Structure 1
Amino acid sequence: MSNIKLPEDFKGVHFHFVGIKGTGMVALVEILNARGAIITGSDVSERFYTDEILDKIGLKALPFASSNITDSVQFVIYSSAYSPEKNPDLIEAKKRGLPMLLYTEALGAVSETAYSSGVCGVHGKTTTTGLVGTLLKEVDLPSQVLAGSIIASFGNSCTMNSSSFKKASENGEKTYFVAETCEYQRHFMAFAPKKIILTSVESDHQDYYPTYEDIRNAFVDYICKLPKNGQLIYCADDAGAVETARIAAKKRADIELIAYGEKASGDYQLTFGEVKNGKQYFSLKGSGEYKICVPGEHNVRNASAAIALVNEILKEAGKSPLDYSEKLRAGLENFAGGKRRSEIVGRAKNKLGQDVIFIDDYGHHPTAIKTTLDGFRKFYKNHKIIVDFMSHTYTRTQALLEEFASSFSSADKVIINKIYGSARENADAASVTGEILAEHAKKYHSDVTYAKEFDEAAKIGLSMLQEPSGENYPEGYIFVTMGAGDNWKVGKQILESLH
């Protein structure tokens, strides 16, 4: 971990970002920019969706070069994709003895300059963080929120900066910061949380955490970073989260445990209501009925977590959550999801004139796939569901092969692509392939097709969509691309051919 401290006041401080187009990096750029910092950055010339955020701020990524490190640069923040031994900007910064921080270290250093809360868990981090920011936007607290993807209700940005934040920051008043914090390689250990949301714990990132106990223990260690009487807001419906909270509480009896979910017993005990007119209704014991416009019971739980954290932050600021209940209800209805999180990417009609809704989702773990598809089944109950899935990493696919194979029960038809490997893996040495996954899926599902390449998948998907959806599905089709890879291109290709 880095021992580099950042100044309390960022006004006029020059930060140079190496790999500025990364999602986390660009979010941090927005956070520092809102605090008055001077920012430059470098990256490859290829255009990414994050370029739109940089354009809005008035920043242009420079090509990598030692000349980017001018005399005015005070701190260098860099993506783990770039090496201080090979990147010209970093070589020059090192030569000059400038303080250099990895993105995760920089996020941790920023968390020390505010009253900070971390959102963590194997599933639901980005959506929950997006929900927290959407709710905080409605209340008069000087707050900033950083999510791991573009959030529609943030104005298609990765961050929420409340209107009162800049002034409070400049006046040295107390400010509130909430960020998505990642368990991979224990990155969240650089963060300094006063409160934590824990959505879920189960086996994942098997290349780094070979066993469930390894990943669970990382979450325990993160929770133990809470200060005396810090708060852990955890999901009572997730067995891993419950176990992790229990172990952390044994180590740190002072930590205040706040449960949310159906199995919780306090203010955040959840009761699911009906799904109607594109909205999901639910109630919390302490504050009554709410509704959200995104599908899936998992998102109701994420919303409950977000309400809990915002209420606890309001209490910490000496305010009564009851005074804000209507604003929070309105904020919740404004939440439309994040990029690649059940994101509606387009609509079209097939040759029979039936509607086809195209959705792209980042779900790349069996639990996420299952709960997301279950959510679509309830939310879009009159639509036939076709899913195109691309598994991410050979190690995860191998470790959870049967779980993946059995996770598509809510879809009517399944197309499986080749595996999207990680740069850290040797594909030739892998003992599992997309085809093997498809064969296993056939044991659990009656309509599974393997299409190694995207062109083939698009052709198969288009032909499926041209058939009548059937009397059980009078409203047409949902075509879902799912995974952490780039198979969103399949949906894009089909959508373009229908227009």
Structure 2
Amino acid sequence: MIWANLESVYFIGVGGIGMSALARYFVSQGKAVAGYDRVSTALTDKLSREGIDIHFEDRSQLIPKEFRNPDRTLVIYTPAVPEKHQQLNYFRRGGFRVIKRSVALGEVFNTGRGIGVAGTHGKTSISTMLAHILHSSTLGCNAFLGGISKNSSSNLYLDPASKVIVAEADEYDRSFHTLLPEIAVVSSMDADHLDIYHTVENLRLGFETFISQIREKGKLIHKFGLTPAVPYHVERFTYSVDQKEADYHADSMEPNGLLGYAFTVVAPNLVFPTIKLQIPGLLNVENALAAIAVAHQLGIAPETIALALSEYKGVERRFDVRVCCDGAIYIDDYAHHPTEIKAFLSSVKALFPHKKITGIFQPHLFTRTRDFADEFARSLEMLDELILMEIYPAREEPIPGVTSGMLLEKIRMDEKVLISREQLLRVVKERNPELLVSMGAGDINQFRGPLKEWFLRR
């Protein structure tokens, strides 16, 4: 066990959304926790207030004394950290156990009744909805989330009395291959992370390897229309918003309030009472169906599921309505793949069909921008006006010829502009949009607060 005989856990990249959930978990287990991150954020500020010692310089001298015993300290790092990182190499040379986040998560996850939520899109929303349903039931759960739940204001659910563990099964770097789930969800298998998989077929094989690791008498729940190979020992169920051949599908859908949807769910040998979602977007109806299917297979009563979802408030940065008042609308979303952008903007247009939509987009990764440039262009053309930011590199070095300028040239649109992050607030104010959306997985999230504040003041 990774926690046996441990006194301390050190995180390199502690401010990442997945890393921070694990850090909080180890604090709950009574371990001393500290770590490094590249920049200070609202999340690292919260972690510091929770007792985690964090610094922002890559110098081995800053590692606290109590984290320098290799027999009592575990070191966890994110793949985004470069190999030349000083602290990472200090621990490796010192004989410490140094493991990736996915390995640490797997060692925790595999001790319980693991529910792994996979898919190139939708993981965070499905996981958070499911965690909220389970937390509202007598079954309870522990959950490691890829976003901040608006119900709990955290990315971690803890219930020492529950053996259920919900976790996002991340396909990047084949991280989900460390998980051995009792129930697995696959929401999508669209081409992505081709820097890792190289081909769509390899990506598919990656998902099928994850599916093959479902435990004996386990279950797979996947979106209707996907056709992964499924082992004989695994029971399969499907879900869909509009395909009535799916095992779980929506029916009698209608608006619920200003932004949400009400619908019934047809399940195997059962019709659920009306589900009333407060959160917007048809894509969230689909995400809810996946969470409903898992909860139902775990034996939770339909009435409990319906009540929990009626109280569900959503996830930060997932169709996150920041402002909606007096004709001013600002919605933020994590969309960073062409398919996600298309789904997000389709939902926005369905809710506000007569409004001009101004969108800010920050591309994430040079490889993703290169591999899907044409697809990004077509998705972004759904906007009426585009404010395009420079590519956020994350873990990558620049690729010659791959720039936001290259992407801008491919986008067939009259109202489009390329800006630096320093220009963003000024450009938005000059355009004075009636409906603004921001999209991306980089540091664009740092503008959510200032943009909301300006909208409310103007």
Alignment TM class, shorter chain as reference: 0.7 to 0.9
Residue type at the aligned position of 1:367: T
Separation (CA, whole Å) in 1 of partners of 2:204 and 2:39: 38
- Cα displacement string for residues 333-387 of structure 1 (whole angstroms, at most 9, x for unaligned residues): 2222222212233467xxxxx5322222110111100111111122344543211
Match of 1:459 in 2: 426
Separation (CA, whole Å) in 2 of partners of 1:209 and 1:403: 19
Residue type at the aligned position of 1:187: S
CA contact (8 A) 2:11 2:34 kept: yes
Normalised to the residue count of structure 1, the TM-score between the two structures is: 0.81
**Secondary structure in structure 2 of the residue aligned to 1:58:** coil
Match of 1:133 in 2: 131
1:166-177 maps to which residues of 2 (within 5 A)?
A: 166=160, 168=161, 175-177=163-165
Separation (CA, whole Å) in 2 of partners of 1:56 and 1:490: 22
Post-superposition shift, 1:46? 4.4
Residue type at the aligned position of 2:169: T
Over 3 Å counting, the alpha-carbon distance change for 1:356 and 1:268 in structure 2 is: same
Residue type at the aligned position of 1:145: A
Match of 1:357 in 2: 329
Greater CA deviation, 23-32 or 198-207? 23-32
Match of 2:59 in 1: none
Is residue 255 of structure 2 the alignment partner of residue 275 of structure 1? yes
Separation (CA, whole Å) in 2 of partners of 1:229 and 1:293: 35
Greater CA deviation, 53-62 or 300-309? 53-62
Match of 2:302 in 1: 325
Separation (CA, whole Å) in 1 of partners of 2:55 and 2:92: 16
- Cα displacement string for residues 216-257 of structure 1 (whole angstroms, at most 9, x for unaligned residues): 111011111112222110000xx4xx122xxx22xx222111
Match of 1:398 in 2: 370
Over 3 Å counting, the alpha-carbon distance change for 1:491 and 1:28 in structure 2 is: closer
Q: 2:349 aligns with which of 372, 377, 381?
A: 377
Separation (CA, whole Å) in 2 of partners of 1:22 and 1:494: 23
Give the % identical residues. 26
Match of 1:473 in 2: none
Q: 2:51 aligns with which of 52, 55, 58?
A: 58
CA contact (8 A) 1:361 1:480 kept: yes
Match of 2:19 in 1: 25
Separation (CA, whole Å) in 2 of partners of 1:364 and 1:397: 10
Match of 1:102 in 2: 100
1:36-75 maps to which residues of 2 (within 5 A)?
A: 36-44=29-37, 46-55=39-48, 57-61=50-54, 64-65=62-63, 67-71=65-69, 73-75=72-74
Match of 2:243 in 1: 263
Structure 1 residues not aligned, in runs of 5+: 169-173, 315-320, 349-353, 467-476
Is residue 306 of structure 2 the alignment partner of residue 334 of structure 1? no
Post-superposition shift, 1:134? 1.0
1:415-434 maps to which residues of 2 (within 5 A)?
A: 415-427=387-399, 429-430=400-401, 432-434=402-404
Post-superposition shift, 1:142? 4.0
Match of 2:407 in 1: 437
CA contact (8 A) 1:438 1:448 kept: no
Separation (CA, whole Å) in 2 of partners of 1:102 and 1:203: 24
Match of 1:469 in 2: none
Separation (CA, whole Å) in 2 of partners of 1:312 and 1:27: 26
Match of 1:484 in 2: 441
**Secondary structure in structure 2 of the residue aligned to 1:243:** coil
Normalised to the residue count of structure 2, the TM-score between the two structures is: 0.88
Match of 1:344 in 2: 321
CA contact (8 A) 1:150 1:157 kept: yes
**Secondary structure in structure 2 of the residue aligned to 1:269:** strand
**Secondary structure in structure 2 of the residue aligned to 1:148:** strand
Is residue 293 of structure 2 the alignment partner of residue 308 of structure 1? yes
Match of 1:474 in 2: none
Over 3 Å counting, the alpha-carbon distance change for 1:297 and 1:45 in structure 2 is: closer
Post-superposition shift, 1:62? 5.6
CA contact (8 A) 2:339 2:379 kept: yes
Match of 2:114 in 1: 116
Post-superposition shift, 1:183? 0.3
- Cα displacement string for residues 188-229 of structure 1 (whole angstroms, at most 9, x for unaligned residues): 111121111100011111211222111111101111111222
Separation (CA, whole Å) in 2 of partners of 1:111 and 1:87: 30
- Cα displacement string for residues 155-208 of structure 1 (whole angstroms, at most 9, x for unaligned residues): 2110122xxx32x3xxxxx61101011101101111121111100011111211
Greater CA deviation, 296-305 or 286-295? 286-295
Separation (CA, whole Å) in 1 of partners of 2:47 and 2:378: 41
CA contact (8 A) 1:29 1:39 kept: no
CA contact (8 A) 1:296 1:376 kept: yes
Separation (CA, whole Å) in 2 of partners of 1:263 and 1:183: 26
**Secondary structure in structure 1 of the residue aligned to 2:419:** coil
Runs of 4+ in 1 over 4 A off after TM superposition: 81-86, 488-498
Over 3 Å counting, the alpha-carbon distance change for 1:212 and 1:206 in structure 2 is: same
**Secondary structure in structure 2 of the residue aligned to 1:374:** helix
- Cα displacement string for residues 267-317 of structure 1 (whole angstroms, at most 9, x for unaligned residues): 412236122422212221132421212222211111100111122223xxx
Match of 1:147 in 2: 145
CA contact (8 A) 1:203 1:215 kept: yes
Separation (CA, whole Å) in 1 of partners of 2:201 and 2:142: 33
- Cα displacement string for residues 465-497 of structure 1 (whole angstroms, at most 9, x for unaligned residues): 26xxxxxxxxxx221111122334566555555
